[in-house]
Amino acid sequence: MIRYALRCDKGHDFDGWFRSSEGFETMRDAGQVACATCGSARVDRALMTPAVSEGQAPAKAPLSSPRNPAEAALEALRRKIEASSDYVGLSFAAEARAMHDGDRPARAIHGEARPEEARRLIEDGVPIAPLPFLPRKRTN
């Protein structure tokens, strides 16, 4: 996994984890990387500097545990959302619209949507909000 510092065309800075440089570029080119602040899909890597103290090797934290209070808060939010809602994957836009239109019973859901799908839901008054993290990969 690679962590990139990212910046949108509006100047907002945020970061993201990707499988590889090619993985980032593929997701960015498909419009699947969006600014955490404004939602802009015009995102590119920002200049990064290593955080190494003089005379010390950087401490390696386990990937599964948060390394600062913000990461701990995001992880707690992720656990709460995953425990209290159904993951619907790439069907998020269709499920949210069906519940809004009364075609399916209302329930808490989370999943994935392309930026244009999310934009249409918002324009149509469907109450959705972006999550500040990527979904975990589901495997059988």
Domain ranges of the chain: 2-45, 69-123
Neighbours of 129 (CB within 10 A): 8
- Residue 53 has a pLDDT of 53
pLDDT one-digit tens code per residue, 26-47: 888 888 888 888 889 898 888 7
- Residue 91 has a pLDDT of 92
Whether the model pTM is above 0.75: no
pLDDT one-digit tens code per residue, 85-135: 998 989 999 999 999 999 999 999 999 988 899 999 999 999 998 888 777
